[in-house]
């Protein structure tokens, strides 16, 4: 038995034969031609065929994984129509008097190199797309059908990498799982895999040769492990696990598309928490009604320098567009305490959880805050975005935030940049905020209760300190009363209130929360369906 480790893209266990997929290398030769116009015509007709193929792929993907995830094939169509890309191909054919294949390959390589050296992550991702469309054109010009040969027997696919068009063409009834040596959990391929419910691992150091091909393997997508020629006990254990997972999934799957509504008819907004636009697929896959907490600080933590306004704008816009009209609440930068990024150069603190963090940092360094607000307000034009501010303790802080908001909107207006001031709310995660929640409710449009910090500050238990576990009461009456008080004060002022801390997914408390009047629960994507089950089993009149 050999064991390989990689990055989990999608959980689940698959057992079967592995097939090494080698993308046919279409070697492109440079051939001199006498009549370049004939080559230009060959290129034009290959482009038409490619457009038709992409339209078919788009329709297939729409039906299987939804419009938002199918959008990549629309992007490919747009790239094929790009005037610079087309002009470069025609120009190479005409000036160098060469075959269309060579002109497409050269243009594809040049454009892809340009994109991959750009700083913007969104533009870098386009490098892969240019390669993909150029390969498609070359395959058509070479007379091939860009159709991956499907195996008769369902198998586990191993490849160096998979481009999105290859992933969507996989026949799900024939592919049990896929593992790739390259690829990031961030790629379109990974997003598609998640939505397609195929166990998948990327970044695995698997030799793609005869030592693997055709062998029996186990893919444990959840843990990112591949066992090649597994020992009988492992095989038995994994089969049992597979069976358990299947039963649990099936039970919950039946709740997809169903309303998050109590037995007596109260509709609850059941949203998901994410840390990155990478997690969007999980939101869709688990059928969340929206995003209740996007922890935007992860955008900062993943980088070595401040994300620019443009970078942030693209991320927020992508999220807003992908959520297609469903509410998406983005929390502004909550850095400090356990979440540190060196380039902020924050002074070491004696008590970081009570230190210069979250909104305090944003109000102290308005240039950072303003960049994020500009990006958020610009992205709000593209969907139902809402913004919430973390670690609020007083009305005064909310007013200071509003002063910055006014400056930002005045600047955007002056610069004639389209923007929209989205719905604005605050996190209730300090006892101070709970105690003045009647006053705060007059200042904002919603509350979201952060039970992780609220528990830490109410019980005076450092959430990072494992030695305090025996003192930590997960269902602390003190915290539950704080929640009840917040809900009451929010409703008196006619604003809605949700819970986005971990307690929100504790199904032992769902009934209690709903009886308090909580309007929204935002939980990890993998918990959405189990919380929906609990909501649907609650009777508020009982």
Enumerate the active-site residues: 188, 500
Pick out residues in 265-294 that bind ligand PEP (CB under 6 A): 293
Sign of the torsion formed by the C-alpha atoms of 484, 490, 496 and 502: negative
Please name the residues in contact with 44: beta carbons below 8 A apart, sequence gap of 6 or more: none
Distance (Å, whole) CA 535 – CA 542: 13
175-180: strand order across its sheet? 2-5, 225-228, 216-220, 13-21, 155-159, 175-180, 200-202, 7-10
Candidate segments 65-73, 76-84, 417-425, 446-454, binder of Mg ion by CB under 5 A: 446-454
By CB under 5 A, residue 506 contacts Mg ion: no
Secondary element (H or E) of residue 82 = none
Distance (Å, whole) CA 434 – CA 430: 7
Distance (Å, whole) CA 156 – CA 208: 13
- Draw the binding track, 403-442, toward Mg ion (x: CB under 5 A; -: no contact): --------------------------x-------------
397 binds, among ligand PEP, Mg ion, none (CB under 5 to 8 A by kind): none
The two most distant CA atoms of the chain are separated, in Å, by: 85
At closest approach, how far in Å is the CB of 261 from ligand PEP?
Answer: 24
Are 255 and 529 within 8 A, CB to CB? yes
Among 36, 224, 336, 450, binds ligand PEP (CB under 6 A): 450
Other C-beta atoms closer than 10 Å to the C-beta of 32 total 10
**Cα distances (angstroms) measured from residue 203 to each of 3, 5, 221, 465, 521:** 14, 8, 12, 33, 34
**Cα distances (angstroms) measured from residue 524 to each of 209, 230, 290, 425:** 39, 33, 12, 20
409 binds, among Mg ion, ligand PEP, none (CB under 5 to 8 A by kind): none
Nearest in space to 385 (alpha carbons), one of 424, 428, 443, 441: 424
Distance (Å, whole) CA 172 – CA 154: 9
Candidate segments 76-84, 135-143, 201-209, 453-461, binder of Mg ion by CB under 5 A: 453-461
Candidate segments 31-39, 58-66, 117-125, 448-456, binder of ligand PEP by CB under 6 A: 448-456
Nearest in space to 212 (alpha carbons), one of 162, 163, 156: 156
Candidate segments 40-48, 211-219, 403-411, 449-457, binder of ligand PEP by CB under 6 A: 449-457
**Which residue minimizes CB distance to Mg ion?**
453
Residue 147 three-state SS: coil
E strand segments, 350-476: 385-389, 423-428, 446-449
At closest approach, how far in Å is the CB of 426 from ligand PEP?
Answer: 12
Nearest in space to 508 (alpha carbons), one of 528, 534, 490: 534
Among 453, 506, 519, 520, binds Mg ion (CB under 5 A): 453
Among 36, 183, 307, 450, binds Mg ion (CB under 5 A): 450
At closest approach, how far in Å is the CB of 437 from Mg ion?
Answer: 16
At closest approach, how far in Å is the CB of 453 from ligand PEP?
Answer: 3
By CB under 6 A, residue 295 contacts ligand PEP: yes
Q: Which is nearer to ligand PEP, 155 or 358 (CB)?
A: 358
Are 520 and 271 within 8 A, CB to CB? yes
312 binds, among Mg ion, ligand PEP, none (CB under 5 to 8 A by kind): none
By CB under 6 A, residue 433 contacts ligand PEP: no
By CB under 6 A, residue 476 contacts ligand PEP: no
How many amino acids of this chain bind ligand PEP (CB under 6 A)? 10
Q: In which residue are the tokens 């007013």 written?
A: 399
- Draw the binding track, 452-471, toward ligand PEP (x: CB under 6 A; -: no contact): xx------------------
Candidate segments 41-49, 164-172, 233-241, 450-458, binder of ligand PEP by CB under 6 A: 450-458
By CB under 6 A, residue 190 contacts ligand PEP: no
User: Between 477-492 and 451-459, two packed helices, what is the crossing angle to 10 degrees?
Assistant: 120
Among 134, 187, 332, 451, binds ligand PEP (CB under 6 A): 451
Q: Which is nearer to ligand PEP, 158 or 521 (CB)?
A: 521
Candidate segments 53-61, 443-451, 456-464, 469-477, binder of Mg ion by CB under 5 A: 443-451
By CB under 6 A, residue 500 contacts ligand PEP: yes
Q: What are the residues binding ligand PEP (CB under 6 A)?
A: 293, 295, 334, 429, 450-453, 500-501
């Amino acid at each position: 038995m050999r064991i390989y480790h990689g990055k989990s893209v999608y959980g689940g266990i698959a057992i079967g034969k592995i097939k090494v997929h080698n993308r046919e290398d279409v070697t492109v030769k440079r051939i001199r031609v006498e009549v370049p116009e004939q080559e230009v015509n060959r290129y034009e007709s290959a482009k038409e065929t490619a457009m038709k193929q992409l339209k078919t792929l788009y329709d297939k993907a729409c039906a299987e994984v939804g419009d938002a995830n199918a959008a990549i094939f629309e992007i490919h169509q747009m790239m094929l129509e790009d005037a610079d890309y087309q002009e470069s191909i025609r120009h190479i054919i005409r000036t160098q008097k060469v075959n269309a294949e060579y002109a497409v390959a050269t243009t594809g390589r040049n454009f892809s190199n340009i994109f991959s050296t750009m700083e913007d992550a969104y533009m870098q991702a386009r490098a892969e797309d240019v390669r993909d469309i150029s390969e498609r054109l070359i395959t058509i010009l070479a007379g091939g059908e860009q159709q991956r040969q499907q195996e008769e027997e369902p198998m586990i696919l191993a490849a160096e990498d998979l481009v999105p068009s290859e992933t969507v063409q996989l026949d799900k009834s024939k592919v049990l799982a896929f593992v790739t040596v390259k690829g990031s959990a961030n790629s379109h391929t990974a997003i598609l895999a998640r939505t397609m419910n195929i166990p998948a691992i990327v970044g695995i150091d698997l030799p793609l040769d005869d030592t693997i091909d055709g062998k029996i393997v186990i893919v444990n997508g959840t843990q990112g492990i591949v066992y090649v020629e597994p020992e009988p006990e492992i095989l038995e254990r994994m089969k049992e696990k597979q069976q358990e997972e299947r039963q649990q999934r099936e039970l919950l799957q039946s709740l997809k598309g169903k309303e998050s509504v109590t037995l007596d008819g109260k509709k609850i907004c059941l949203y998901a928490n994410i840390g990155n636009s990478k997690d969007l697929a999980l939101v869709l896959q688990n059928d969340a009604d929206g995003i209740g907490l996007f922890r935007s600080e992860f955008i900062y933590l993943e980088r070595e320098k401040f994300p620019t306004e443009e970078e942030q704008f693209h991320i927020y816009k992508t999220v807003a567009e992908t959520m297609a009209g469903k509410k998406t609440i983005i929390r502004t930068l909550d850095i400090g305490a356990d979440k540190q990024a060196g380039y902020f150069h924050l002074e070491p603190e004696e008590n970081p959880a009570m230190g210069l963090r979250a909104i305090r940092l944003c109000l102290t360094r308005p240039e950072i805050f303003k960049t994020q607000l500009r990006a958020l307000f610009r992205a709000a034009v593209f969907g139902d975005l809402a913004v919430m501010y973390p670690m609020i303790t007083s009305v005064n802080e909310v007013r200071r935030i509003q002063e910055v908001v006014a400056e930002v909107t005045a600047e955007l207006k002056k610069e004639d940049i389209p923007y929209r001031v989205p719905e604005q709310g605050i996190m209730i995660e300090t006892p101070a905020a709970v105690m003045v929640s009647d006053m705060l409710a007059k200042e904002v449009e919603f509350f979201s209760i952060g039970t992780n910090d609220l528990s830490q500050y109410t019980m005076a238990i450092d959430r990072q300190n494992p030695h305090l576990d025996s003192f930590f009461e997960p269902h602390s009456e003190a915290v539950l009363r704080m929640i009840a008080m917040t809900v009451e004060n929010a409703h008196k002022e006619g604003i809605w209130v949700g819970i986005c801390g971990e307690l929100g997914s504790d199904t032992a408390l769902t009934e209690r929360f709903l009886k308090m009047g909580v309007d929204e629960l935002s939980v990890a994507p993998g918990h959405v369906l189990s919380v929906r089950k609990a909501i649907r089993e609650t009777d508020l009149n009982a």
